[in-house]
């Protein structure tokens, strides 16, 4: 009986140690998973609160063919909640990037592109030879300023008609 | 010994239940937090209509005081030529000289009208220099549920000359908003290239345009 009691006691202690170890591993794993979920959530929140939109009249996008290279002027609005970083702006016209020739001005004057401000974008290219009433595709990608350690990103695509 | 085994089993079971409840509570908190974050990002989109939009090409856009005269009291300005509908108000200093003018109705004229003081006999008459130009009038209605701060609204003429509505709409209220069902009459001087043919409105990524009558 004494041997039986000792072996039962050993089994009990073993079970306690195993359950304690399993608990520790589970808690540790859950901590990692929780951190991953939190990071994922913050990234998705940043994307959800970052929004870029065309502003103005898509039928009347100004195109100046009197200068070389020709220039196109349009306006983008911060329609999200996070401040956007105009330095990250990438513009494509008919699928071709014009990133190297972008001039961006925040309206009205201000240091930050907040949700009440517009960005006047002037892009140019020596390869353009558009005419009045030509239709083309304009795309833009922008990221937000870093908020809580994360940047959101949004894209905008629109068909516009040029007004020369 | 049997009791010890039972107690041991109870401890193990309790431990596992505590761990399980911690996991469930943490998971619930994560889901709630995520849903709140995503919900807060999804605001209602503005919905609105442009009821009408009119360009007045001969509106009085500026009245400068050439000579303030004397013997006036604060009063009203009208035009003595044309039937364009201009009205304004003025204030005077201690000698009755006109020192400031405010336009209350810009009117619409084919040529610059002569502006006079209404119904007063001064010691010395005042005179004014009048400039006419483009003035856009429009009625817009918020047909959605999104209450829009006017500072988030931009107006455009021919897709250019963006003007923030918060800077041109005078309601006497700080940081005014555009409420559901409300119609605003907006008007502003347009100094862009002539002729202006279209008017556009942009609110939080929602754009609408109309030809100018």
CB contact under 8 A, A49 and B41: yes
Q: Which residue of B has its CA nearest to A161?
A: B159
Q: Report the candidate in B66, B137, B68, B80 with the shortest Cα–Cα distance to residue B105.
A: B137
Give the Å distances, CA to CA, from B133 to A43, A87, B213.
51, 38, 16
- Bridge-based pairing of strands B98-105 and B153-157 is unpaired
Nearest CA in chain B to A15: B12
- Integer Cα distance of A33 and B27 in angstroms: 10
Pairwise CA distance, residues B163 & B192, whole Å: 11
Please identify, in words, the CATH class of the domain defined by A50-163. mainly beta
Asked whether this complex has an ipTM greater than 0.85, the answer is no
Residues of A in contact with B159 (CB under 8 A): 56-62, 74, 163
B99 vs B27: which has the higher pLDDT: B99
**pTM surpassing 0.80?**
no
3-state helix, strand, coil in chain A (%, to 5): 30, 40, 30
Residue B44 predicted with pLDDT over 80: no
CA distance A60 to chain B (A): 5
Nearest chain A residue to B23 by CA: give it. A30
Q: Decide if A154 contacts A141 (C-beta within 8 A).
A: yes
Domain boundaries of chain B, sorted by first residue = 48-55+135-211, 60-131
Residues of B in contact with A51 (CB under 8 A): 205
- Residue A122 CA: distances (Å) to CA of A71, A74, A100, B192: 6, 7, 11, 18
Pick the residue from chain A with its C-alpha nearest to B148. A116
**CA–CA distances in Å: residue B199 to residues A85, A88, B191:** 29, 30, 14
pLDDT level of residue A158 (50, 70, 90 thresholds): very high
CB–CB contact B12 A8 (8 Å): no
User: What residues contact residue B139 under an 8 Å CB cut-off, 6+ apart?
Assistant: B50, B51, B52, B183, B184, B185, B186
A84-108 tens-digit pLDDT: 998 999 999 998 888 668 888 998 8
pLDDT, tens digit, for every residue of B113-170?
Answer: 999 999 988 899 999 999 888 888 889 999 988 888 888 899 898 888 888 888 877 6
B160-164: strand order across its sheet: B160-164, B153-157, B198-203, B206-211
Are β-strands A96-97 and A102-107 bridged in parallel, bridged antiparallel, or unpaired? unpaired
For an interface test with A, the pick among B39, B163, B207, B210 (most A C-beta atoms closer than 10 Å) comes out as B207
């Amino acid at each position: 009986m004494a041997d039986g009691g000792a072996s039962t006691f050993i089994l009990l202690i073993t079970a306690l140690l195993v359950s304690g170890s399993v608990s520790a591993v589970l808690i540790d794993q859950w901590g990692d998973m929780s951190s991953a979920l939190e990071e994922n959530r913050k990234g998705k929140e940043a994307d959800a609160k970052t929004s870029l939109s065309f502003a103005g009249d898509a039928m009347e996008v100004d195109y100046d063919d009197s200068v070389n290279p020709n220039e196109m002027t349009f306006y983008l609005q911060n329609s999200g909640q996070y401040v956007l970083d105009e330095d990250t702006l990438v513009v494509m016209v008919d699928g071709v990037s014009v990133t190297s020739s972008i001039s961006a001005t925040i309206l009205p004057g201000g240091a930050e592109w907040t949700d009440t401000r517009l960005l006047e974008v002037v892009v140019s290219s020596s390869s353009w030879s558009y005419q009045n009433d030509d239709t083309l595709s304009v795309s833009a990608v922008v990221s937000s300023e870093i908020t809580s350690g994360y940047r959101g990103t949004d894209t905008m695509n629109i068909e516009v008609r040029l007004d020369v | 010994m049997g009791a010890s085994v039972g107690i041991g089993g109870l401890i193990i079971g309790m431990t596992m239940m505590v761990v399980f409840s911690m996991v469930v509570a943490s998971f619930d908190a994560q889901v709630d937090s995520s849903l709140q974050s995503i919900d807060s990002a999804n605001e209602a989109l503005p919905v609105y209509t442009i009821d009408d939009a009119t360009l007045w090409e001969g509106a009085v856009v500026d009245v400068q005081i050439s000579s303030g005269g004397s013997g006036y009291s604060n009063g009203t300005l009208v035009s003595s030529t044309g039937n364009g509908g201009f009205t304004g108000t003025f204030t005077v200093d201690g000698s009755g000289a006109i020192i400031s003018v405010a336009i209350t109705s810009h009117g619409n004229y084919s040529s610059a009208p002569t502006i006079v003081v209404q119904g007063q006999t001064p010691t010395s008459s005042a005179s004014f220099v009048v400039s006419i130009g483009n003035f856009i009038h429009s009625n817009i209605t918020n047909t959605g549920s999104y209450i829009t701060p006017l500072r988030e609204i931009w107006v455009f003429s021919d897709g250019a000359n963006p003007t923030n509505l918060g800077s041109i709409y005078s309601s006497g209220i700080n940081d005014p908003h555009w409420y559901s069902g409300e119609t605003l009459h907006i008007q502003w001087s347009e100094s862009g290239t002539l002729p202006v043919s279209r008017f556009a409105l942009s609110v939080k990524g929602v754009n609408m345009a109309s030809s100018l009558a």
